[in-house]
Every structure is written in structure tokens, then in C-alpha cells.
Amino acid sequence: MIYSTAVSDQVLAFFQQRGVLNEQQMGMLKQVADQQQISALEVLLKQQPSLQSTVDQIVTRAGLEQERSEDSVPDAQQEIVSKPVESRHTWDLIDGDANEQLQRVLGGCIDMDASDIHIDLDEVDHKLVSRVRFRIDGECRDMIIDPRKSIYEGMVSRLKTLSYCRLDESRVPQDGRVPFVHNGKNYEFRISFNPVTKKNEQLEKVVLRQMADVSKCNLDMLDIHPYNRPFFHEAIALPYGFNIVTGPTGSGKTTTLYSVLQETDRSGKNVCSIEEPIEAEVARVNQTQVRHDIGLDFARVLRALLRQDPDVIMVGEMRDLETAETALDAALTGHVVWSTLHTNSAVASISRLIQMGIKDYMAANALAFIVAQRLVQRVCTDCRKPHPEAQRVVQEQMVPAFSSASDAVKLEFEKALKTAQIYKAYRNGGACKRCDGMGYKGRVGVMEVLKMNEAIREIIIRDEGNEVRMQAEAVRAGMMTMEQYGYLKVLEGKTTVDAVLAVVRS
């Protein structure tokens, strides 16, 4: 590959800014380049051929032009694409370099609808091997086990370059974003590098999360049960109040919040959000990215937004007392605020706020709705089979779960029983092409929606937010629990009892 002086200077400047090259190394490269009458970048690539793929990516992303020699790699081989992947079983190793391996992994993640890619280091037979795993429908599965350390190092270097992370730093965590083109479509991955020690050697574990296009989400796509749907419309239409979406990491909270934003009247209201990171841009929403490196945290942005005449504010996450107090105060002074917490149930969110230091009277008066949710595996529609003990499942597991439900929830259960389709997932060793023999394909949400009332507010203030009493009152008032909601999805034929129990009772 022949590079012009301008391209060479810009690429080397990039490496110097990232700490890959120092002044002395730069001087030596230029001295050799003058002697051989080639560019300094070509000298560097002769000394370190493994940097070729990194240089190509820098040139492409910066829109630089370079001359190509006749024996350069054809354009078709430089496209960031990979062949469709048909199997979820462990892949065979390929003879290609780290760049080809990375293209294969990123493309395979997209083809197989994996949410995350894990690049781990493991010890097998007293030797370090790299292990690539995909998280598919909530489960991590081995895809590649490669004994070649050079492939692992090459993949890490390439990913750091793509995400503008420091190539020479492996002692501290780093994160960024990786753009990727697959079959003509643009994708993006959020990436995290974390230092690990294996066999007394400082290395890194890499995790990439495929960024979903949440800007196109809406409540219809969430497949919310008709019983809970009116609660969302009521929460969106509130003139003021504090609404929480809670659940563990990866439970779909961000997708729910973006769906709410899509349903909000953004033309007649000033809608703002504070996010870390911004998952997707939404039309007519003023989105602010948190930047801790310059002191721009959630609390600081929220205080500034309150001077921007907001109607609706989405706070990505409440991590500290200051942010929580400011958000609840905003809800009490005429704003609708949506935010997230990490708790196991709706009532647990109230306890969590009090534990953070929020005054009980403030929580009681500001809270309006709390949505707790999980994602359960969706049974494969191509290979599912009727449950052989459906009646026993209904009588022994579902009926007791609905025994304490409100009359309205019991009515939903009775209606679902009349058209019940209870299935069981079957692992068939890859015979089913849709799910590759796993029995499940995709995930569906289960949730509970707590609507605040005077009785619950009284428990918060007078009984210090006793969770048992709040749960009993919420159920009495008509809240459908996550377990009950999950069973209704089972009766609709969308998931299985085993999948629901694995999530709601974990």
C-alpha cells in the first residue's frame, strides 16, 4: 500500500495523540522514510504489519484518500461484512487474521440477534485461550474458542482503534462505541474494556452490546397486555408526577422509556432527557449526554433543565440522593418525570428511594406510577409442542397465583383460560432451523404496574414504607403481579411456565 505524505502525517498524528508513538519514534520513522523515499506510515507498517487493518479503518473513517499499489487488497475484501451465520453451535476456527475474525464475530452477532458479545480469556490445558460468547435471549453461549493469542490481541487493538480508546492502556477500564456496516446497513455497538489478570499477566476482557434502534419503539411493539395498557396512557397524560421503570440490567427499561417518549405529545410539550449514553436520537426531544469527565452529571443537568421550561423530563437513572431529590422536587412542582431504578419489584422501588435518603412524605406525594419488568424467553413457534400436563400446571401453579388477585385481574385470568394454549419448549438438537434447536426464539416482557393511591401513601408515611403491606394494598387495588402477568403470556402461547418462573422467582 502506498500512502501520500498528507495521509501519512494525519494517521501518524492520530497514533501520537493516542500515545502509541512518541516524539523519538516519530523522528526515527521520518528519518528512515527520507532514506528510502517512502512515507513514514509505510515504514511503520513494514515494522508492524499488524497495524494495517487499524490504518485502513482510520483512513476510511477520516475520509482520507490514498494511492493503492497494484497488489493491494481488493475493495471487496476490505468491506466490513460477514457471511450469514446459520448455527448457534460453536464455530470452527478460520485461518484468517484478527480483522477477519472480528468481522465474522460482529456480523454473526447481528445475524443471530445476540444482544452482547463477550471476549473472554480462559485457561485450557494450562494455556490461555480466547473465548468468544454471544448472549442470545438472555443466555451466554460459547461461539469461538481460539488458542491463538495473536488473534485475541489483534481483535482488542482493532476494537480500541474503532472506538477511539487508547491502544497502549490496559490498566484501567475504557469504553466507547464501534460502528459497523453489515449487508449494507449501519449498526453500532457499545464497547467496554476491563482489566483482568490471567496467569500473572495484565490483559483485558471485552464486552460489546449491540445497540437496538430504540428510536422506532412504541407501546404497540412492547406487546403490553390490554389490562396494563391504560395505566401507561394515564401516566403519559399526567400534568405532573414521578413515574419509575424498574428492573435489573438488560430487562428492557430503556426500551420502555423510549416507547413512552414516542407516545408523548412532543409538539405541544417541551420534552427533555438526560442519558448516559444517548441510545438513539428521538425527534423533538432535547437529549443531553452525561459527561462525568467534565463534571456534567445527572444532578447538574437536571438543575439546568428546570430553567429550560420543561414539561416532561426523562432521567436515565437515579444513582444518588441529589439526583433523586431534584427529580422528585421537579415532579412536585408541575413536571412529569420518568426515571429508572434497579429493584426487584414495584414496591421495592419505594423502599429504595427511602433508603437513598428521600423523605417519606416527598416520595408519597410525588410518585404516580411504578413499572417493574423483566424479559422472559419466547417459546419457538416452529417447534413448540402442547404441554403434556397443562391442566396440572393450571391447577397447581396458576390458580394459587391468582387466588389473592383483585376481581378485575381474576376476570382476565378466567378469560385467558377459555382460549388457553399452553406449550412446552423442546430442545431438539438443531432440528429446528428457526431456534437452532434451543426451544426459544426471542423474548417477551412481563411487568407489574403499581398505581399510587391514598392507602399506599399512608403506609409510606405512617409505616415507613412496609413492603409487605404496600404489596398487599397494591394487589387489592388491582395491580397484576409479574408472576400473574407471565402466566397470562403462557396462556396466550407466547412463553412457558419454566421461562416465567426462571425470571420472576429468581
Domain architecture of the chain: domains with CATH: 5-73 (no CATH), 79-210 (3.30.450.90), 214-504 (3.40.50.300)
Residue with cell 431504578: 341
Quick: pLDDT tens for 190-243.
Answer: 999 999 988 888 899 999 999 877 766 889 889 999 999 999 999 999 999 999
pLDDT at residue 426, as a whole number: 87
Residue 365 predicted with pLDDT over 70: yes
Dihedral (C-alpha) 283, 285, 290, 295: value to the nearest 10 degrees? 130
Average pLDDT, the chain: 87
**Among 64-68, 259-263, 310-314, which stretch is predicted with the lowest mean pLDDT?**
64-68
Q: Taking a C-beta distance cutoff of 8 angstroms, is the pair 214, 279 a contact? A: yes
H/E stretch holding 104: helix 98-111
H/E stretch holding 101: helix 98-111
What is the rounded average pLDDT of the residues 17-23?
Answer: 74
Q: For residues 441 and 156, give the distance between their C-alpha atoms in angstroms, rounded to a whole number.
A: 30
- Close Cβ partners of 260 (under 8 Å, ≥ 6 residues apart): 219, 232, 235, 236, 314, 338
CB-count burial class (<10 Å; 0-12, 13-18, 19+) for 452? buried
What is the rounded average pLDDT of the residues 300-326?
Answer: 94
Q: What share of the chain is helix, strand, coil (3-state, %, to 5)?
A: 40, 25, 35
pLDDT at residue 36, as a whole number: 64
Residue with cell 496467569: 199
Q: For residues 182 and 108, give the distance between their C-alpha atoms in angstroms, rounded to a whole number.
A: 10
Give the percent of the chain with pLDDT over 90.
Answer: 62
Q: Give how far Cα 233 sits from Cα of 51, 261, 349, Å.
A: 54, 12, 21
Q: For residues 233 and 264, give the distance between their C-alpha atoms in angstroms, rounded to a whole number.
A: 9
Residue 453 predicted with pLDDT over 60: yes
Quick: pLDDT tens for 65-110.
Answer: 444 333 333 333 233 333 434 444 567 676 678 888 999 999 999 9
Confidence of residue 120 (pLDDT cuts 50, 70, 90): confident
Structure letter (DSSP) for residue 86: -
Residue with cell 446459520: 86
**Ramachandran category for residue 464: left, alpha or beta (phi over 0 → left; psi -120 to 50 → alpha):** left
pLDDT at residue 428, as a whole number: 77
Q: What angle do CA 296, 297, 302 make, to 5 degrees?
A: 100
End-to-end CA distance of the chain: 56
- What predicted TM-score, i.e. pTM, was given to this entire model? 0.77
Quick: pLDDT tens for 140-194.
Answer: 999 998 888 888 999 999 999 999 999 989 899 999 999 999 988 889 999 999 9
Q: What angle do CA 1, 20, 61 make, to 5 degrees?
A: 50
In three-state secondary structure terms, 432 is: coil
pLDDT at residue 1, as a whole number: 59
- Close Cβ partners of 41 (under 8 Å, ≥ 6 residues apart): 3, 7, 8, 11, 12, 55
Residue 303 predicted with pLDDT over 80: yes
pLDDT at residue 335, as a whole number: 97
Q: What angle do CA 336, 482, 251 make, to 5 degrees?
A: 65
Structure letter (DSSP) for residue 338: E
Q: Which amino acid does the sequence have at 214?
A: V
Comparison of pLDDT for 29 and 136, the residue scoring more: 136
pLDDT at residue 79, as a whole number: 33
